[in-house]
Chain A
Amino acid sequence: EVQLLESGGGLVQPGGSLRLSCAASGFTFSSYAMTWVRQAPGKGLEWVSAISGSGGSTYYADSVKGRVTISRDNSYNTLYLQMNSLRAEDTAVYFCAKQTNSDPGYPCDYWGQGTLVTLSS
């Protein structure tokens, strides 16, 4: 059974940093691209970032480019999202999701339950 478990969310001050993790199990992690999608309270889904199965290709939304780094450790079946210079508008539930191919250009067939990041001074 595919499982994705996010962690690392919490309350952080504007300008601060946070690293989100997503522990994957139930599939060959290195064979699939992974994605982070976020959802602000009461709002729609926003694609944030994606990484290929090998980790060699990464992609970012304009809203986070330069402040966020996606990475993965295929030895530990874990996806990461390092977020720096956080802003109030980064407040959201962050979902990690598995894509249907090693190439990031595919839809997401499994999703975690999300981890909440809240910006507050």
Chain B
Amino acid sequence: DIQMTQSPSTLSASVGDRVTITCRASQSISSWLAWYQQKPGKAPKLLIYKASSLESGVPSRFSGSGSGTEFTLTISSLQPDDFATYYCQQYNSYPCSFGQGTKLEIK
């Protein structure tokens, strides 16, 4: 099974900051990676698919990059609505797996 590891687990930042979250796969997953945003008590929301493709309706300040085993999610200029928990997910092979999550907090 493929293990997904995110870093950091918690990130403190301010409105306007540029932040980057990293996700590493235990083996190559090509570009079969998605990023989700989740707010407390809510369902996850798809942000990025195929490592770098922006889901329709998602602000362009979100971007994804990477392939193989290392991936990043970047938010270019943090907005108040962006403080949430972010998860990566590999869908290269079953069982699909999520990273443990990165909680983005207000500094």
Indicate if B100 sits at the interface (CB-CB under 8 A): yes
Majority secondary structure of chain A interface residues (helix, strand, loop or mixed): strand
Tell me if B46 is interfacial: C-beta within 8 Å of chain A. yes
Contacting A47 at CB < 8 Å: which of B85, B89, B92? B89
Taking chain B's interface residues, is the majority helix, strand, or loop, or is none over half, making it mixed? loop
Q: Restricting to A80-98, which residues have a CB under 8 Å from any CB of B? A: 95, 97
Chain B residues, CB < 8 A from A107: 34, 46, 49, 89, 91
Interface range on chain B: under 10, 10 to 19, 20 to 34, or 35 or more? 20 to 34
**Measured CA separation A44–B23 after assembly (Å):** 15
Bound together, the chains give a CA A113 to CA B41 distance in angstroms of 9
Give Cα A100 to B44, complex, Å: 15
Q: Which of A86-121 contact B (CB under 8 A)?
A: 95, 97, 100, 104-109, 111-114
A73 near B: Cβ within 8 Å? no
In the assembled complex, A61 has its CB within 8 A of some CB on chain B: yes
Contact status A44-B95, CB under 8 Å: no
User: What CA separation (Å) do A71 and B55 show in the bound complex?
Assistant: 28
A-binding residues in B (CB < 8 A) = 1, 32, 34, 36, 38, 42-46, 49, 55, 85, 87, 89, 91-101
A-B contact pairs, 21 of them (CB 8 A): A44-B85, A44-B87, A44-B101, A45-B98, A47-B96, A95-B43, A97-B44, A105-B32, A105-B91, A105-B93, A105-B94, A106-B49, A106-B91, A107-B46, A107-B49, A107-B89, A107-B91, A108-B46, A109-B46, A109-B55, A111-B44
